[in-house]
Amino acid sequence: MKAPRYTHFDVFNGDADGLCALQQLRLAQPRESVLITGVKRDHALLPRVKARPGDSVTVVDLPVGVNREALLQLLEVGVSIEYFDHHHAAQPPEHALLHLKLDPAPKVCTSLLVDRHLGGRFRAWAVVGAFGDNMAATAEELARSIGLDQRKTYLFRVLGECLNYNAYGESEADLTIRPADLRKIMAPFVDPFEFMTEADAFLRIAQRRAEDLELANAVRPILKTERLTAVLLPDAAWARRVIGIYANHLVNSERGRICAVLVPNGHSKLSVSLRVPEGYGVAADRLARRHGGDGRASAAGINDLPVEDVTFLLRDLQ
């Protein structure tokens, strides 16, 4: 009698942190899997997993909260799950089939969690993931630990920012490369530098990113105070793509100010990227949750902010 064939699912955020965390895991343990991912703001991905008893799932860089019900349902039918994430999770579940590694500390990203789990075996990809998640100090520390020179460190920063940029959009139609396709392109590369030089994916993303950033830089803020810089971008695919990295750019250049980038999302509402400077004394995720969003201490987002609530949000951010 043939042994039953079980399916493995890799469920991951399509941004730099999700891609680079999963890259490390699959370099360490190659396996065939069904890929389930999407745009950066698409966090509720576990409900898409159609698993049977005995199947297994790896979840990377997705908040437990919005996936909790589906997570518990999968565990109850006998699916084993390993879960790596750095977002806030209230009362994380416990189960014999769940291997949960969470750390919401401000200077931790999922790529760093996986790097710890693997004992630094593929740390170069953790460097890329940390840069992509706008954790430059963490990334530079990791880079020094493996002897990366200044040039390589800079290139890995650019790669991380490009991978992160590629995940932003209202749907995958806005993106340069679908995250599942990008995952497959990245899969064979142990060295991020070889990925940059041998695959054309990096150049395609980098070129479009530069074009989109140039358009964003031409837009004037709708509000600029001692505590806040807020920018409203137009209803356009380039604006939806650039919203996250432009928010990162602003918070890195507008020292000491909370930064908010708003973009119409096509549903008569707005997407918002929030960034809070380190040591500011208020957490971006807490601000976002007051308006239906989520995230982490330094970076958060709101998917569907009603237009009539914009004034209230801007007042709250000050």
Structure tokens at 305: 């902010």
Tell me: do 179 and 300 sit in the same domain: no
Q: What is the pTM of this model?
A: 0.91
Q: Does one domain contain both 180 and 266?
A: no
pLDDT at 81 over 80: yes
pLDDT (mean) for 51-73? 96
Measured between alpha carbons, how far is 318 from 278 in angstroms, rounded to an integer?
Answer: 16
pLDDT at 113 over 80: yes
Instruction: Give the pLDDT confidence score for residue 156 in this predicted structure.
Output: 98
- Decide if 142 is inside a domain: yes
Domain interval for residue 225: 219-317
pLDDT at position 133 is: 92
Q: Are residues 51 and 154 in the same domain?
A: yes
Model pLDDT, residue 2: 57
Per the CB < 8 A criterion, the answer to whether 268 and 307 are in contact is yes
Domain boundary (159, 184, 207) is at 207
Q: What was the pLDDT predicted at 106?
A: 83
Find tokens 């004394």 and name the residue. 281
Residues of the chain with pLDDT > 90: what percent? 85
pLDDT digits (tens, 9 = 90+) for 206-255: 999 999 999 999 999 999 999 999 999 999 999 999 999 999 999 988 87
Question: Widest CA span of the chain, in angstroms?
Answer: 72
Q: Please write the tens of the pLDDT for every residue from 167-211.
A: 999 899 999 999 999 999 999 999 999 999 999 999 999 999 999
**If you average pLDDT over every residue of the chain, what do you get?**
94
Cα distances from 24 to residues 29, 124, 183, in angstroms, run: 9, 9, 12
- Domain count for the chain: 2
The CATH number of residue 55's host domain is 3.90.1640
Question: Confidence class of residue 87 from pLDDT cuts 50, 70 and 90?
Answer: confident
Helix (H, G, I), strand (E, B) or coil at 87: coil
- Tell me the average pLDDT across 249-262: 91
- Report the pLDDT value the prediction gives residue 1, as an integer from 0 to 100: 47
Residues 6+ apart with CB under 8 A from 286: none
End of a domain among 207, 232, 248? 207
Residue-wise DSSP of 93-123:
---TTEEEEE---TT--HHHHHHHHTTTTTH
Lowest average pLDDT, out of 16-20, 69-73, 227-231, 283-287, goes to 283-287
Calpha distance 293→109 (Å, rounded): 19
Nearest Cα neighbor of 127 from 140, 118, 114 is 140
Q: Give the helix/strand (H/E) hosting 253.
A: helix 237-253
pLDDT the model gives residue 254: 80
Residues 70 and 202 in one domain: yes
**213 within a domain of the structure (yes/no):** no
CA atoms within 13 A of residue 42's CA, in its CB half-sphere: 21
Q: What are residue 75's phi and psi, to 5 degrees?
A: -60, -40
What average pLDDT score do residues 258-280 get? Answer: 91
Using the 3D structure, point to which of 207, 241, 266 is the last residue of a domain: 207
pLDDT at residue number 173: 94
